Structure 1
Amino acid sequence: MRRTTFHRAALAAASLLLLAGCGSQSGGGDKGSGAVSPKPTPTPTPTATSTPTPSASGSSAGCTPLTSELTTADSGRTFCLAQDGTFRVTLTGSEQRPWKKITTGGDTAALKPMNYGIMLRGGDAGAAYQAAAAGTVTLSATRPLCAEPTAPGGVSCKGIQEWQVTVRVK
């Protein structure tokens, strides 16, 4: 009979190494360190294209004056916009994790869609609006949380990243 102790031990060690490697991420700069890069700090947003009616506290009823552009960093926030004010929404995605079309809900007559005016890359979503009437509108979009596997047997997930903002037209 042939001894298989060495082969079994080597197979067990290789299995442990494979399992230890699953689920690990390599950061951008520290290859192999296992360190996760810190969350990026948001950049200041551009100045507003319209002037909302501020209250005595400087903001209008618990909402932020809407700037010229909304991005993925603005998700979950509420903005105020004066009638006839305009703004863009730019959601940067990728071919592997594309954003779905931006949808509106609520008082949809409060925002009038406009020509976005810029060609988007694959995976990005964009829209432009003008405040047409008083009301509250919810803008939303989704995209896959994980890229689809590129090879048979690849790891995948069913998670969805949601983006949503509320716009109050005064």
Structure 2
Amino acid sequence: MRPTTPLALTAAALLLAGCGSQEDTGSSGKASEPPSPTRSAADCAAHAELKAADRGRTVCVTRGGEIRITLDGTTARPWKPVTASGTGLEAVNAGFVLQRGDATAAYRAVAAGTVKLASSRPLCAEPTAPGQVSCKGIEEWAVTVRVR
């Protein structure tokens, strides 16, 4: 049997300590895991910044709070404008889009409710010359916002 060095033991302990230790409490204003049915308005954030990586998440925001969305796209794979379905959010001015293909949106939480925010873009860029491979795939993005 090979002797174990203190460095190897320390590295193993650090790796094991890091497993499963991250917890998102939802209080940072970032997207968080779906809230439990017992969550109160105190567990909701006043502001949330959403990106493409937040796809599939559920966030909770307090009435009077704000949601801002920035989806970074490209000219070849542009995001469609963000749509909102449900009640509780009101669209506000998101500012300027600085790059073609990006989608930005902003909403103010005006009433209790649930809203699904969604967008999509092509999975692959369109071919630019004859004989190039193309695909018809769509990348979808959606986030559920609960207003309390």
Alignment of 1:1-170 (within 5 A): 47-48=28-29, 60=40, 65=45, 67-107=47-87, 110-170=88-148
Q: 1:90, 1:115 → 2: CA distance?
A: 13
Counterpart position of 2:13: none
Q: TM (normalized to structure 1)? A: 0.61
Q: 5+ unaligned residues in a row in structure 2: which ranges?
A: 1-23
Shift of 1:117: 1.7
- Residue 68 of structure 1 aligns to a residue whose secondary structure is strand
Q: TM (normalized to structure 2)? A: 0.70
- Please list every run of at least 4 consecutive aligned residues from structure 1 whose deviation after the TM superposition is greater than 3 angstroms: 63-68
Normalized per residue, the structure richer in strand is 2
**Higher relative contact order (CA closer than 8 Å, sequence separation 6+):** 2
Q: Do the aligned partners of 2:97 and 2:104 also contact (CA within 8 Å) in 1? A: no
Q: 5+ unaligned residues in a row in structure 1: which ranges?
A: 1-43
Q: 1:102, 1:162 → 2: CA distance?
A: 11
Q: 1:99, 1:64 → 2: CA distance?
A: 28
Supply the AA of the counterpart residue of 1:161: E
Q: Output the aligned Cα RMSD.
A: 2.9
Q: 1:64, 1:77 → 2: CA distance?
A: 14
Structure 1 residues 150 and 66: alpha-carbon distance in aligned structure 2, compared to 1, 3 A threshold: farther
Instruction: Tell me which structure has the larger Cα radius of gyration.
Output: 1
